[in-house]
Amino acid sequence: MEETLPTDIQATPLRYTLNAEQEKKEIIRHYRALLRSLRPKLKKGDKELVRHAFEMAAEAHKSMRRKSGEPYILHPIAVAMICVEEIGLGVRSTICALLHDTVEDTDISLEDVEREFGIEIAKIVDGLTKISNVIDTNTSQQAENFKKILLTLTDDPRVILIKLADRLHNMRTLDHMKREKQLKIASETVWVYAPLAHRMGLYTVKTELEDLSMKYMEPDAYREIARKLSETRRERTRYINEFIRPLKEKLQAQHFDFEIYGRPKSIHSIWNKIKKKQVSFDEVYDLFAIRVILNSPAEKEKEDCWKVYSMVTDEYNPSPERLRDWLSNPKSNGYEALHTTVMGPQGRWVEVQIRTKRMNEIAEKGLAAHFKYKEGNQDEDRFDKWFGQIREVLSAPDTDGVDFLQDFKTSFLAEEIYVYTPKGEVKMLPTGSTALDFAFAIHSAIGSKCIGAKVHHRLVPIGHKLRSGDQVEIITSNKQKPSEDWLSLVVTAKAKNKIKDSLREEKRKIAEEGKYLLQRKLEAQGASASRENLEELVVFYKVNSILDLHYKIANKSIDLKELKTFQVIGDRLDIPKPKPVIQEPVPDSAQRLANKKDSELVIFGESSDKIMYNLAKCCNPIPGDDVFGFVSTGKGLIIHRTSCPNATQLLANYGHRVVKTKWAKNKEISFLTGLRIIGLDDVGVINKITNVISGDLKINISGLSIDSREGFFEGNIRVFVHDKEELEELVDRLKALNGIQTVDRVEEEK
Ligand code: MN
């Protein structure tokens, strides 16, 4: 029997050459490895259940293959393996991971799963099925899907943990996908899944997801940093050893049971630093962090960490602003540690992270490890609290669309700050929160009446951005009420929802007046305020609802002068029908392009008369750049670089409007781009630069500005180039000049 295969599964490509017998052995080998790592967690009867799940999945997927040509079943096995080894999940989750794609892609139904494995497992598999296709749908559907993820997440967190394992394996095997699919999946991963992993406390998974996304979204930068990291490895190891040696001796002398080592930072985080601080690789000082892991009994954890802190800072001088104490106030994802940055040998700043074995396990395995240690702990649980907040927001009306996704990200996935009430109670808020957010976090009645706040006894406006450690006293007035512009002053979903509620309530009150007014006018004409008549008026005045109609009558944006001209039949208004609007021919060229997804669109430069497109102002692409086309509403096709700051958001949210795009060779048209040059201020330096550009390379300069101060200069130059190759040659030539330190391409026009 032929099976209909899901879109990303295809028939076997030729490169997969194992015969059936060998393939079977390979599958069994992977399955046995899974059992081996699960062994310590197996109780009586578990092994049979796992085997049953494996056999059921293997049978169901038996004629399916992944893009790489591998038998499909290797994917669920790998996902299960990640759940066990890297996330620390147990038997139930392993069974769910093995079955996670069956209900979606095979003949197995949810009832089958429930019959064989019970309701608990069926529920998790159901959750995994619902959220399996977040990509390739339109935006509102995507927000809908994401809401589902969150609902199932708060139902049973294992759903999201298994989903993260699934995503991680898909990212590890993304090579076999088509380029535009890689971009979509990768951007969705950095946009939604990496922050979720972070929020679940899975640092290792989060880091790998980010690195893998970068590998596909910005391959050049990724390779460059990876290369430099491996080039500098020996030197780094030597330095780390030198740094560690005296600390090791001290710790041993005090009879600590410990581990100390240096750990490289992720490529993605190094890249972020380079971009954010506008520095070069060589100037990123924290390419690694030193980690001290203590094996301390529960009651001595905090004390021991501080003892080690004191030993470290006896040896090396700490930077006063860079002490982070997550021992006393753990992050809400459970992270606990002491971080400090000290001055190491050769005048280099080094970050030192101090934590215990238990804390380390929570840092690496997050939620799962957290539950393991929770037993018997009566503390208010941070995850439970977080889930509670999510549930509260999800239950509010009006949580649709892209706005919701964005709001959710800023209020639940951002880093957080700690602020204090006047009585010293601590509140956790997402970074960027304002005094108004804080007021709503205390109580919605306080938020609605907030007119300002005192931060450390100083008066600040309601939109004042709070910082960690602020002590905030809210000032209220009974005359205050929320207004439309408050929405732009808050970041938390709770505050946003409460403000919207109150605006709606306000509108309803005003609309009451309009309702009364309209009723009187209708009655004067012998017509009634029946639903039928009101709906006719809604259509006639082109408003969205009866509430809107009443509201606009009350605030006089509808004046009802036409009302007198309408005939009344019985008590019915007879309103002349507006002329039918002629439908515009819909499929314009851009829309057609979007529909023809797989075909590659070739753009020619500005002389092209075939396709109308614009180059995005945010990233100014030039031929040779890795680009994609985005079908915008109204402005046709817009070409962005895949490294554009807006790319992630566009690709993750509007994947269905992305068109694969490629440059055609065209040497006649030039493109404007910018360079920032930094170097030593020197007589004649401008001359040298312009000589290279317009003399040697005959490139046109469109603008040039040079700022110099204290022996340095920073030059911004705008030039016309034909393509990336030419730009690269120019950059190389400029870098080779005496006294030039950095030459960087700048994206945005200043
Ligand atoms: Mn899967």
The Cα 680–Cα 637 span in angstroms is: 42
Query: In angstroms, what is the span from residue 129 Cα to ligand 1's centroid?
Result: 9
Check if 304 is active-site: no
Give distance in angstroms: CA of 58 to centre of ligand 1: 14
Q: Residue 2: pLDDT band by 50, 70, 90 thresholds?
A: very low
Please tell me the chain's helix, strand, coil percentages from 3-state DSSP, rounded to the nearest 5: 50, 15, 30
Q: Which residues have a Cβ under 8 Å from the Cβ of 230 and sit 6 or more positions away?
A: none
| Residue 630 · residue 658 · CB < 8 Å | yes
Q: Average pLDDT of the chain?
A: 81
Query: Environment class of residue 26 by beta-carbon count within 10 Å: exposed (0-12), middle (13-18) or buried (19+)?
Result: middle
Cβ neighbours for 473, distance < 8 A, ≥ 6 positions apart: 421, 422, 453, 454
For residue 46, count CB atoms less than 10 angstroms from its CB and return exposed for 0-12, middle for 13-18, buried for 19 or more: middle
pLDDT tens profile 202-241 = 888 999 999 999 999 999 999 999 999 988 889 989 999 9
What the block records as the tokens of 270 is 């190094």
**CA 395 to ligand 1 centroid distance, Å:** 29
pLDDT (0 to 100) of residue 148: 67
Q: Extract the tokens encoding 731.
A: 């950059």
Bridge partners (DSSP) listed for residue 680: 712
From the CA of 97, how far away is ligand 1's center (Å)? Answer: 8
> How many angstroms does the Cα of residue 164 sit away from the middle of ligand 1?
10
Write down the pLDDT at residue 581.
46
> Given a cut of 70, is residue 17 above it in pLDDT?
no
Cα(743)–Cα(586) distance, rounded to whole angstroms? 47
Ligand 1 centroid to 78 CA: how many Å? 10
H helix or E strand, kind and range, residue 418: strand 416-420
Instruction: Please state, in angstroms and rounded to a whole number, the distance separating the CA atoms of residues 394 and 348.
Output: 47
Catalytic site includes residue 104: yes
Query: Which whole-number Å values give the CA distances from 456 to 20, 633, 705, in the listed order?
Result: 72, 48, 44
Residue-wise pLDDT for 508-544, tens only, equals 989 999 999 888 888 888 888 888 888 888 888 888 8
Ligand 1 mean position, distance from CA 269 (Å): 27
User: Is the pLDDT reported for residue 464 higher than 90?
Assistant: yes
- The pLDDT score that the predictor gives to residue 367 is 67
| pLDDT of 586 strictly over 50 | no
- Element housing 480 (H / E): none
* Percent residues over pLDDT 90 in the chain: 27
pLDDT of residue 645: 76
Q: How confident is the model at residue 80 (pLDDT cuts 50, 70, 90)?
A: very high
- Nearest alpha-carbon partner for 445 in 502, 382, 491: 502
Task: Write down the pLDDT at residue 5.
Answer: 36
At residue 242, does pLDDT exceed 90? yes
Q: Assign 297 to helix, strand or coil.
A: coil
User: What Å distances lie between residue 175 and 78, 100, 602, CA to CA?
Assistant: 16, 22, 23
Q: Would you say residue 130 has pLDDT above 70?
A: no
What is the token pair recorded at 525? 């004409």
Q: Which of 3, 8, 23, 104 is catalytic?
A: 104
- How many angstroms separate the CA atoms of 142 and 654, rounded? 9
- pLDDT of amino acid 139: 53
Structure tokens at 545: 């609802």
Beta strands per DSSP E along 651-696: 658-663, 671-680
CA distance 154 to 725: 51
**Contact present, 451 and 462 (Cβ < 8 Å):** yes
Q: What is the pLDDT of residues 555-580, one digit of tens each?
A: 888 888 778 778 788 778 777 765 54
Residue 661 scores a pLDDT above 90? no
Residue type, 265: K
First to last CA, the chain: 62
| Structural domains of the chain, with CATH | 20-217 (1.10.3210.10), 227-373 (3.30.460.10), 501-574 (no CATH), 588-663 (no CATH), 671-745 (3.30.70.260)
Neighbours of 450 (CB within 10 A): 25
**Rounded mean pLDDT, 305-319:** 93
User: Hey, what amino acid is at 353?
Assistant: Q
In this structure, the chain runs to a length of 750
Residue 317: phi and psi, rounded to 5, are -75, 125
Q: Which of 70, 86, 101, 105 is catalytic?
A: 105
Q: How large is the angle between the packed helices 139-155 and 158-172, nearest 10 degrees?
A: 130
- What DSSP element (H or E) covers 567? strand 567-569
Tokens 């992993």: give the residue: 197
Cα(8) to centroid(ligand 1), Å: 11
What is the distance in A from the centroid of ligand 1 to the CA of 172?
A: 12
